[in-house]
Amino acid sequence: MSKCGKLDIAMDLFQDLTLKGLQPNVRTYTVMVGGLCGEGLLKEAKHLFRKMDETGCPPNSVTYNVLLQGYLKNQNYDDVEMLLQEMDGRSYSLDASTLSMLIDEIAAGSVDRSMLKLIGKLVPKEMMDTTA
């Protein structure tokens, strides 16, 4: 979406949904959060992410991973730990792509190594299964 320069159009359509009495679903919100992150509009992405719960459409694991990747790609490390803690509180898992990005950022020294324990709690059990 954002790569085509269509974010403004997408935002207008998104806002039109609620004006027409329609409630965006979790997939619609997730796409919009991802588009905002892709443009480096992290404040707006976080606001929309928070608005989801307020409107009765809680973010899912995919939404959390999309926002977390946006924070990592845009070097917004201040919100990474907070978001990881929220994911833990909701029993959500990291996807492979997000986990890889986190490991790279820890190795580079951008993300504090003290978060390793928290990150370990968010790794899906099937990713940790060494008997497979």
Q: Does 95 score more than 70 pLDDT?
A: yes
- Dump pLDDT digits (tens) for 55-72: 999 999 999 999 999 999
Number of domains in the chain: 1
Range of the domain at 66: 2-128
Residue 91, Cβ neighbours under 10 Å: how many? 9
Residues 80, 72: contact at Cβ < 8 Å? yes
Question: Which tokens belong to 69?
Answer: 């990747």
Distance between CA atoms of 97 and 82, rounded to whole angstroms?
19
- Degrees, nearest 5: CA angle 51-1-14: 35
- The domain spanning residue 59 has which CATH number? 1.25.40.10
pTM: 0.86
Rounded to the nearest integer, the mean pLDDT of the chain is 89
What pLDDT is recorded for position 80? 94
Could you give the CA distance from residue 43 to residue 72 in angstroms, rounded to a whole number?
14
User: Is it the case that residue 2 has pLDDT exceeding 50?
Assistant: no
Q: What is the pLDDT at residue 16?
A: 81
